[in-house]
Amino acid sequence: MKPNKKNSEITAYSPEEEYILQASKEYGAEIHLMLALVAKAGLRNGELCGLMWSDIDFEKKKVTIIRSIKQGFSTPNGNCGTVVQNALFKRTILLPECVIEALEQWKAVLGLSLDEEKRNSPYVFSNSRGEALSPPQLSTRIKLFCRRYGFDSKDCSLVRLRKTCAFEMMGNGIPYDVVKEVLGYKSSNFLYY
């Protein structure tokens, strides 16, 4: 059952989310970037998977969300495929300095990678063959991080971290409608899940 306005309590940003981001720095550049893009820029799971280096303008500190990858179908050899879709809401987001730094750090780590396919992938987050991660692959990486640091999976929920992004933006005086647009929502009650 999906909560609605009558039976849902909105949990505001807590220091725990900041602790998760700090712990992710220690864990590794890839996980830190994933969580920073969700908590500080509001990207969805599928949007993280579909993010390409060409979508990022480092000079203007912006990212354009134009695709999302959803879990797809079974291929004849039994592997799970992915389907690339247009992002739900195409949008351009200004990136805070901490996300730019995380992007640059991950790019530097990839530049040192011995895995040529991954190093040369157009996707920011890819598997060892240079293909975009599927949403379940991305979630598995985040769950491994949570287990290692003893976080409850609810604490590392991408939905919760997106809410964190919304609350932080509104706490900084950004109007509700702008927050809704940045996060790519149609509905006015986007904080109630």
- Tens-place pLDDT, residues 52-89: 999 999 999 999 998 888 775 444 444 445 555 665 56
- Tens-place pLDDT, residues 81-139: 555 566 556 889 999 999 999 999 999 998 877 667 777 889 999 988 888 898 889 98
Has residue 182 got a pLDDT over 90? no
Contact 41, 21 (CB under 8 A): no
Rounded to an integer, the average pLDDT of 135-149 is 91
Has residue 48 got a pLDDT over 60? yes
The Cα–Cα gap between 163 and 16 comes to 13
Q: Phi-psi category of 2—alpha, beta or left, where left has phi over 0 and alpha has psi -120 to 50?
A: beta
What pLDDT, on the 0 to 100 scale, is given for residue 8?
44
Q: State what percent of residues in the chain have pLDDT above 70.
A: 77
| Domains delineated in the chain | 15-183 (1.10.443.10)
The Cα–Cα gap between 35 and 50 comes to 15
Q: How far, in whole angstroms, is CA 189 from its chain's centroid?
A: 21
Has residue 27 got a pLDDT over 90? yes
Span of 110-119, 121-130, 150-159, 183-192 with lowest mean pLDDT: 183-192
| Residue-averaged pLDDT of the chain | 80
The Cα–Cα gap between 158 and 118 comes to 24
What pLDDT, on the 0 to 100 scale, is given for residue 86?
63
Residue 3 binned pLDDT confidence (cut-offs 50, 70, 90): very low
Residue 24 binned pLDDT confidence (cut-offs 50, 70, 90): very high
